[in-house]
Amino acid sequence: MNSKTRPEPPPLLPIKLGPTSNGEYAPLSPSPALRWVRAESLRRAGEAARQLGISRREFLRSSAGAATVLLTLNEITACGGSYQIPKEAARDAAVADAALKGDEFILDVQTHHVSTEREWWNAPTPNLSSYLQTLPQGRCGSSFYLDCFDRDHYLKHVFLDSDTDMAVVSALWGTPEMNAILPEEAVKTRERLEKMEGSPRLLLHGVVWGKAQSPAENAENMRRLVEEYKRKGLTTLAPLRVWTP
């Protein structure tokens, strides 16, 4: 199926709701209350978009779209706090901006993308490809689902379509032949971003294959990660330890 015949993905809410996963397990199903909030937020977004003369997707990308989700969430809280947002924020972008926007520094400490420069997904050992194929992002409209997780999509979503100031590209599990992103591939992402205004904005995290390599190989790998690739943190897969220089 090519991209022209691929069905358009459903619109996403500006605020992710419900159970999620770090990729190591399947997320639980959302509760009935959260399913209602999702559906009702989309319904209200469609209604507001028609009144404003814009598409629902355009509305959902606005601060008024985020306000709509938070105001809808307020309706299911039986006790405790609520989001202090004027109801007018769901229609008035200026009111929504005043309620939601700020100048806080935002650091996303765990982000991922994969490489499509080599066919790691064809490795004979299990890898991330089968899992990524199940995710909504894999239906972004590209003819090859892994393109939806590549460097260009990553930079767009994390730095152009959000308020993120700085992020960490986290290492992924797996030995080199089936790992979805190698150190030198992450470096290319950092170099690409460094050409943009406001850089440096990207830190790199490295992985050490404690049991897959000999002590000498591990030592050389760590040296290269720190000295050549300028990684700011390392994680060993087994046993799990984190080290920051």
Cβ neighbours of 221 (radius 10 Å): 18
Return the SS3 of 72.
helix
pLDDT at 55 over 70: yes
Count the domains in the chain.
2
Question: Among the three residues 102, 134, 162, which one is the final residue of a domain in this structure?
Answer: 102
Residue 116 and residue 9 in one domain: no
Select from 54, 73, 102 the last residue of a domain.
Answer: 102
89 with 111, same domain?
A: no
Residues 135 and 236 reside in one and the same domain: yes
Q: Are residues 142 and 205 in the same domain?
A: yes
Is the domain of 225 the same as that of 117? yes
Residue 53 shares a structural domain with residue 123: no
Q: φ and ψ at 160, to 5 degrees?
A: -100, -35
The pLDDT, as a whole number, for residue 211 is: 75
pLDDT in tens, 99-152: 998 888 999 999 999 999 999 999 998 899 988 998 888 988 899 999 999 999
Residue 68 has what pLDDT? 97
167-188: pLDDT as tens digits: 999 888 888 889 999 989 999 9
Q: Rounded to an integer, what distance in angstroms lies between the CA atom of residue 34 and that of residue 41?
A: 10
122 and 229 both lie in a single domain: yes
Is there a single domain that holds both residue 24 and residue 121?
no
Nearest to 187 by CA among 173, 171, 174: 171
The first and second tokens of residue 206, run together, are: 């490295």
Q: Which domain-ending residue is among 47, 80, 102?
A: 102
Residues 10 and 87 in one domain: yes
Q: Is the pLDDT of residue 22 over 50?
A: yes
Strand, helix or coil for residue 224: helix
Same domain, 112 and 75: no
User: Residue 78's pLDDT band (boundaries 50, 70, 90)?
Assistant: low
In this predicted structure, the answer to whether residue 7 has a pLDDT above a threshold of 70 is no
The pLDDT-based confidence of 244 (bands split at 50, 70, 90) is very low
Amino acid making up residue 146: L
Are 121 and 201 in a shared domain? Answer: yes
On average, the pLDDT of the chain sits at 85
CB 226 within 8 A of CB 245: yes
Co-location of 2 and 111 in the same domain: no
Question: Which residue range(s) make up the domain with 67?
Answer: 1-102
CA distance 207 to 168: 13
The CA-based dihedral angle spanning residues 32, 34, 37, 41, taken in that order and rounded to the nearest 10 degrees = -130
pTM above 0.85, yes or no: no
Tens-place pLDDT, residues 222-236: 888 888 888 887 776
Read off the pLDDT of each residue in 192-216 and give the average, rounded to a whole number.
82
